Amino acid sequence: MSRLLVGVCLVLLLTACGPKQLEPDDSFVCDNCESWNEPQTPFRIYGNTWFVGTAGLSSILVETDEGLILFDGGLPQSAARIDANIRELGFDPLQLAAIFVSHAHFDHAGGVAALQRLTKASVYTSVEGAKTLSSGELQANDPQYLMGAENTRFPAISGVVTVGDGDVIAIGGVDIKAVYTPGHTPGGMTWAWESCALGGCYNVVYADSLTAVSADGYKFSGGPAAQQIIDSADAISLLDCDILLSPHPFFFGLQEKLQKLGDGNPFVNNVACSIYAENLLGWLERRLQSERGMSPLAVPDLDGG
């Protein structure tokens, strides 16, 4: 083999082994996709915990001694933004060791398959959530299930790892506690961990959505979801919680808090989980009143939730 040919082969080999990254994929369409997927500059929340999601969908990065952890992957088209945000912070997405999913709807799990293919990360969720993640289709017991609906599907995820309620997953010195919080979906998960910096530690809670939203025709008053939301809200309110995060940044006031970053850390609030739980119980009560014909439902339009 000539030296020239050897050189060309080496160049091609090095190029193939170079940094991989995701390309944008805008093939998935939904009413709120464009606004949800607006770019958001990534930033540190506290200690080893960072926001790497979009303006309308949370994705949380945690640095550990044995790789990176990610919570939620947004829409299918969010994966490329999350990948770019991780790189912008100076981290290598290929060091992603685990992805934890809050609930298996297209707006939070849609980008997970692409991120998993890129990084080979393990994906964790509940037993019920794994059924949806593995198929990419909502189960019939999900309040947002609608037979034949195409816009609720998302890329299926292989090799999903299931965890039990109260289980703790230890990765690189960080203990992630799993808390079952069904209601918005049958497999909803809340995740909690401790984040430390400069000798101070805070309990971070990534509280799952508990909004009482559904497909047309579903009634919360006629099934188990209403009581599940009540029980799940109670579970979240009882957690040690200094920093509240959630799948939709709207629910923890992301943009308002970013305006206050110069005045200490606005994300620290040890009653935030209790307030979150109370607000969502209020949402449920308005939904039940609406089903009884007592008053109109007045809640923000979050579509997938």
Active-site positions? Answer: 103, 105, 107-108, 184, 218, 248
C-alpha to C-alpha distance for 15 and 20, rounded to whole angstroms: 10
| DSSP helix/strand/coil, 115 | helix
Token reading at 185:
């979906």
Which positions ≥6 away from 260 have C-beta within 8 Å? 266
Token reading at 128:
């019920």
Q: Which residue in the block uniquely carries the two structure tokens 């947002």?
A: 144
Q: Where do runs of H (alpha helix) occur along the chain?
A: 3-16, 33-36, 78-88, 106-109, 112-119, 127-135, 225-237, 254-258, 272-291
Report which of 60, 56, 305, 44 is spatially closest to residue 176, judged by C-alpha positions.
Answer: 60
Q: Where do runs of H (alpha helix) occur along 136-224?
A: none
Q: What is the DSSP letter of 205?
A: E
Which positions ≥6 away from 148 have C-beta within 8 Å? none
